[in-house]
Structure 1
């Protein structure tokens, strides 16, 4: 049923238990479970109280941190590094943490947990449950900061493009704006959860670990504030591109309007003199057509000079 089960000892070593008890002989036992496993609900019902057990089985979650007796209900999200999936579709992990047991439940692979699992197999396991939580939050926060830094560099690239009016709207601009919105949607409640975690008074989280968790909560707050700034900067970039397009369209429309203003009286003259009825002047004069063309050219020049004088050109 479990993805992995380890007994962790104070020196950072682990052993794979042969029994199915909730706790083991080490400092604590880590159960890493998959939410899609058919027997998971029965196992959790048999081993955990109703409230934390129900929290682990929720199909949809949001970041949270709640105390239950002497244990901790903790839901967090991490950057989605699964192949073929968007990074901003963050992956959730449901946790129950007590003094001698850590239970993590996931639906999709969370690479932060996989990193901890790999370090455990190398004999470098977090020695306490508080250290486990700290190690997980550290990895989640680091990857969030890396993703925000990537978006920040892309935003700077978009801003540099604004110096050239001929640069078209980047196709990635709308995608990046949606990415920022989705990341902030998940990170704002995660910031609140980590802030609550850093301030919670539980025997399983001693003061040194609490200080580290407060620092991690502060980093998450900075990431959320950076996302707020990026959202505003991307809106400004979009507005600038929209203004460039509007100015270009207005300029083209103005040129067409001037051309129409010049040719309107000329068209009137050609239409008037094209009337094929008796009495039209110049019908018997061979030079009449030349005079008409010269007169129209002079009229066009006068109109252009008038436009120039009125500063329409």
Structure 2
């Protein structure tokens, strides 16, 4: 893609060495953008972007977004923040700082450079929802002082900042609320249910089920999610969001475990543990707004996406 000046767009991806960020970076490079990845590698990995080192339009900066950044860009995809409970609960104060200070710094950069900026928000802003499925008009049911609050409330504050910059400074903003996403390059130790189940099954360990396993999630394959992010960024300026991006297919944890075991084989059992504090009981996006505004919807069925993800982890654990 080219900028208004006739040159390739210069796009900043914060958190670009993470799971979603690395997939997004590849897509942007494939379409001809110049891409600057910023990451402090707290939860991202150099391995995710190692093969991009020699790409002439790729640039990597080790930087923490809680500190200001001074570069020239046309667009900013602001993904920087640990998104799995294992990582964001390890240093909850830093998680909140990343959400709040990081957003302030990236919004300031967008204001100075007149760049369009997209926030990777989350379905966690809905908390343990009292409305099902969740549509963007729902304000959520979030515990402000729980162990997940650093992330949930941090992202809610980030959304507030984005819309205040839009109202006060007429900044061109986009806010995506991302539901559970999975696929190759997930970290095997990030504590998310898809990677947990697959790694446990491949290693012949029991699959950890929290609670009774009847809680539900909706799983979106990463390629579909990236397509939604790009469509949102490329949408007209009056489309600010928030817009839900996720797959409305709803599965219990027991159903997911059965699917993983069927793909991997072996004789792993299920091991039940207490449900963590504030863990949402149900989660499913209403994607009507994404369908009508962006012409977007998921295309990869869960069985197909899981098979690709199992192949990735099988190769990774084998050292291939």
TM-score class, shorter-chain normalisation, is under 0.3
Q: Larger helix proportion, structure 1 or 2? A: 1
Q: TM-score, normalised by structure 2?
A: 0.25
